[in-house]
Structure 1
Amino acid sequence: MDHAEPAEPSVLARLRQESGPSALYERLAATHDPDELAELLTAPGQPLWARELVAYRLGLAGDRRAFEALVLLLNHRDPARCASAAEALSRLGDPRTARAAAALATNELRVAYALHPVRLLTALRAPESVPALVTTLQRRLGPHDPYRRVALACVEGLAALGDPRARPVLQRALAHPALAEAAMVALARIPEQRGA
């Protein structure tokens, strides 16, 4: 892990606060031995903050042993854990990441936690990204859907990706006041299809 980028100070500060005075925290934050970190991922009885710290550091270092732990954190009820997992997954370079993020983004039973998977799909620009964002957005366009932040993240993601496959769902999003402005921006970024 000598060439790993340093962990983000805000993530480390949050986890240090969560751990309280802890020799384990100090050891995990200081070590440069990826095997020592990876061992904790499967060790029984470890606190969640420690698993997150280890998975996050390994993810930033490109160590794919962190993949499963990061995917679990990406779907956590705590948005801060989701955000750190998404950041680490975006740097991990594991080819399974986009498929996992798409599965989480489109899982209606976990839609309350789909914001960070949606944002991760946008950052990855993978083949799975546009279909998953379109599916998720279509499901958010009901009259009383409570997940407007997820819907807006989908619209913004589709704007960033600029894929013509998104045009129909973005046109439907124009009818929703909370999404209309972002949907107009997104539609303007999609190149017109010329010819057949």
Structure 2
Amino acid sequence: MDDWLSALLHRARAEASRGAATGDPERSGPRAYERLATWSVRAAAREPRTAKPARDALARVLTEQGHPVWAQEVAACALAGAGDRRAFETLVFLLNYREPVRASAAAEALARLGDPRTARAAAALAGNELRTAYALESVRLLARLGAPESVPVLVATLRRLLAGPGHYWPIARACVEGLGVLRDVRARPVLTAATGFPQLRETATTALARLPRP
């Protein structure tokens, strides 16, 4: 088990302990956690006789009713780490989740999963004006993927944020950083505009310096 999944399970253990008194103990308490942790380890095994039943059990957590969010998160991330695309829909839901730690875990899992639908889903979430406050990880994932959708969506999102009235500076800054990483000359106009805002000036200047010279 790598450090990323180990940290996720450590956080889930604490949530399972808190949830034991409020939910179904078979699905939300420490016993549920122990099963998920065991399945997560087995899902990554190279031996099909061990891995397949564990992955099927994790996939059921994503479709059955009554499982808490932390359990769905663990199941989806463990499946993603094993390359199982049954995790995709749950991870996209979590990518735009209100709790940043879950969105961050989902972004990492989607990057590891490598599903070809990921860039389109991240682009849709990053460009959704009604969910801008929760778009940070979608923006970062687009920059990480470097997909055909990445630059147009980051440019459009940053342009919209600069126009206001809600600037959402952390999201705008992530767009600027992502465009600097992608080094696409199409970003020059909007990055130049971003230098006019004190909250973005330094980051935008650095991003501009990374673009190919005209």
- State the TM-score, normalized to the length of structure 2: 0.85
Residue identity matched to 1:178:
Q
CA-CA distance at 1:5 after TM superposition: 5.1
User: What is the rounded CA distance, in whole Å, between the counterparts of 2:163 and 2:8 in structure 1?
Assistant: 36
Partner of 1:63: 84
- Answering whether residue 47 of structure 2 is matched by residue 26 of structure 1, we say no
**2:208 aligned counterpart, secondary structure:** helix
Residue identity matched to 1:88:
A
CA-CA distance at 1:146 after TM superposition: 4.0
**1:38 aligned counterpart, secondary structure:** helix
Q: Is the 8 A contact 1:70 1:85 kept in 2?
A: yes
Q: Deviations over 1:133-190 (max 9, x none)?
A: 1111001103543400000000000000000110111011011011111111111111
CA-CA distance at 1:114 after TM superposition: 0.4
CA-CA distance at 1:9 after TM superposition: 2.5
Q: Which residues of structure 2 form unaligned runs of 5+?
A: 18-28, 43-53
User: What is the rounded CA distance, in whole Å, between the counterparts of 2:3 and 2:205 in structure 1?
Assistant: 39
**2:200 aligned counterpart, secondary structure:** helix
Q: Which residues of structure 1 form unaligned runs of 5+?
A: none
User: What is the rounded CA distance, in whole Å, between the counterparts of 2:133 and 2:166 in structure 1?
Assistant: 11
2:12 to 11, 15, 26: 15
Partner of 2:70: 49
Q: Is the 8 A contact 1:73 1:81 kept in 2?
A: yes
**2:199 aligned counterpart, secondary structure:** helix
Q: Normalized per residue, which structure has more helix?
A: 2
Residues 152-163 of structure 1: matches in 2 within 5 Å? 152-163=173-184
Q: Is the 8 A contact 2:139 2:171 kept in 1?
A: yes
Question: After alignment, is 164-173 or 134-143 more displaced?
Answer: 134-143
Percent of aligned pairs sharing the same letter: 57
User: What is the rounded CA distance, in whole Å, between the counterparts of 1:52 and 1:166 in structure 2?
Assistant: 34
Partner of 2:120: 99
User: What is the rounded CA distance, in whole Å, between the counterparts of 1:131 and 1:143 in structure 2?
Assistant: 19
* Alignment CA distance shift 1:186-1:14 (3 Å): same
Partner of 2:153: 132
User: What is the rounded CA distance, in whole Å, between the counterparts of 2:149 and 2:137 in structure 1?
Assistant: 15
User: What is the rounded CA distance, in whole Å, between the counterparts of 1:87 and 1:24 in structure 2?
Assistant: 24
* Alignment CA distance shift 1:93-1:34 (3 Å): same
* Alignment CA distance shift 1:92-1:5 (3 Å): farther
User: What is the rounded CA distance, in whole Å, between the counterparts of 2:187 and 2:139 in structure 1?
Assistant: 15
**2:66 aligned counterpart, secondary structure:** coil
Q: Which runs of 4+ in 1 moved over 4 A?
A: 4-7
Higher relative contact order (CA 8 A, sep 6+): 1
Residue identity matched to 2:86:
R
2:197 to 163, 176, 185: 176
User: What is the rounded CA distance, in whole Å, between the counterparts of 1:70 and 1:185 in structure 2?
Assistant: 32
